[in-house]
Amino acid sequence: MKSVPKLIGRFIGILLISVLLLIILNFFVIFFITVDQSPNGGPYTTAEETADSLRQTDSGFEMDSESLAFLEENNIWAILIDERTKNVVWQTENLPKSIPQTYSLSDISTLTRRYIDGYPTYTGDAEDGLLVLGYPKDSYWKHVSPSWDYQFIANFPQIALIILFSNFLLIFIIYLGATGKLVKSVNPIVQGIRNLAAKKEVNLKEKGPLSELAMNINQTSQTLRLQERDLRKRENARANWIAGVSHDIRTPLSMVMGYAGQLEDNSNLSLLERKKASIILRQSEKMRDLINDLNLASKLEYNMQPINMKKLNILALVRQVIVDFLNNDLEDNHPILLETDGNTGSFYVQADEDLIKRALTNLIQNAINHNENGCTIYISLGNTLEKSTITIADDGVGASDKQIDKLNNTPHYIISDDLTTEQRHGLGLLLVKQIMESHNGKMRIDQSHYGGFSVTLEFLKY
């Protein structure tokens, strides 16, 4: 899975950035601490500067007031050891009583490297002697054996890098150990979410750091399965109801149409009675067609209608549909004109002949039903490298832009409305749309450039 490596990479990136920021932060902290600890160059420098300020006069040794003030302010005592006698020949007033007044060479060597009575001492070369500064006991810690192996000093950069790399490796191992269990738990969670999107059953183990999330995903999967089962029951009930009603209506409807046809042809009836029988027959035929459309639409919606795909000559099929309308005594006020662009001689598509014929019949009949006062129906064919099209247009009453937008973007079900007798484009267009979708094609509704209504069927080429 791509998401899990990406998550691991993100964690590692965060780790690297964290280590880098930690190193930078430590560098600046050490730098500022060092600067703060040595504002005057350190006690060794202070001892040298103080020794330079000590001068011998006729009355003895004297130190300038600024140096004395600094020593007093920082609670530092000072003595001057004579170079020849090794005795203290000058001292500050705050000298502790425990500090000796005479020193041997061994004592001088010790105080240079270590302490006098626990006081850290630092020395500076003065005139005719050695100046010793004694700092408060808790002010400095001195290295009593400041000797280092030469090879260690020479290889210190490499040693520092090795130590740094070892620290980084240790942090990385600890990080992987701490997050490994989390990353291991993410993988099934990601797969479970993908299975949810694919409408598959999900049953994750509810343990580990993401156990609560796994439990929620399992509950969601169970809820979706229950909802899908209930929806399937309702849809099956609706499909069965439509199929049952269609079957139950066909027999009495056939009887009504049969008797109406007999009454229409009965010469013993008056002209008015025969006309009423003709109206009953025509309306019954509309009911029959509506029931057939409803049944077919239901089958297409639930993939219950077999699709028999074959290589189909659309031009020949269109001509056949036109002939069928002419043979059904189509009135002269609804002429049908066939238009081609010259590329339709090889107009073949992979399609179900009966379904495409049904779609074309519905569109032509739709134009007739919505233009009772007559109109011209134009059928045009188009063929390109990308797609093949069939357009059924008319110059009738048409539809507004708002109505066309609604037809293109909402289901074309017939709406029951007792407040209006306006004819509607309904189930017929829904059936055509479903037929085209079953062929991986499209249906597009537009204003006709003839001034009426236009529907274009698009067959994509692969």
pLDDT confidence of residue 414: 45
Specify the pLDDT at position 457.
93
Q: Which stretches in the chain have pLDDT values below 50?
A: 1, 38-40, 412-425
Q: What is the pLDDT of residue 422?
A: 42
pLDDT given at position 345: 56
379 DSSP β-pair partners? 338, 392
Angle formed at CA 242 by CA 236 and CA 245, multiple of 5 degrees: 135
Residue 415's pLDDT is 44
H helix intervals, 302-397: 314-327, 353-369
Helix, strand, coil abundance in the chain, percent, nearest 5: 55, 15, 30
Count the Cβ atoms, other than its own, within 10 Å of residue 327.
Answer: 8
pLDDT of residue 122: 92
Nearest to 94 by CA among 65, 64, 136, 53: 136
User: How many beta carbons lie within 10 A of that of residue 61, not counting itself?
Assistant: 17
**Please, what's the b/e burial string for 2-23 (b: 16 or more CB within 10 A of its CB; e: otherwise)?**
eeeeebeeeeeeebeeebeeee
Task: Report the C-alpha gap between 204 and 218 in whole angstroms.
Answer: 6
Q: What count of Cα atoms within 13 Å lies in the side-chain half-sphere of residue 360?
A: 29
Structure tokens given for 302: 């639930």
Secondary structure element (H or E) that encloses residue 120, with its range: strand 119-126
CA angle 271, 273, 275 (to 5 degrees): 70
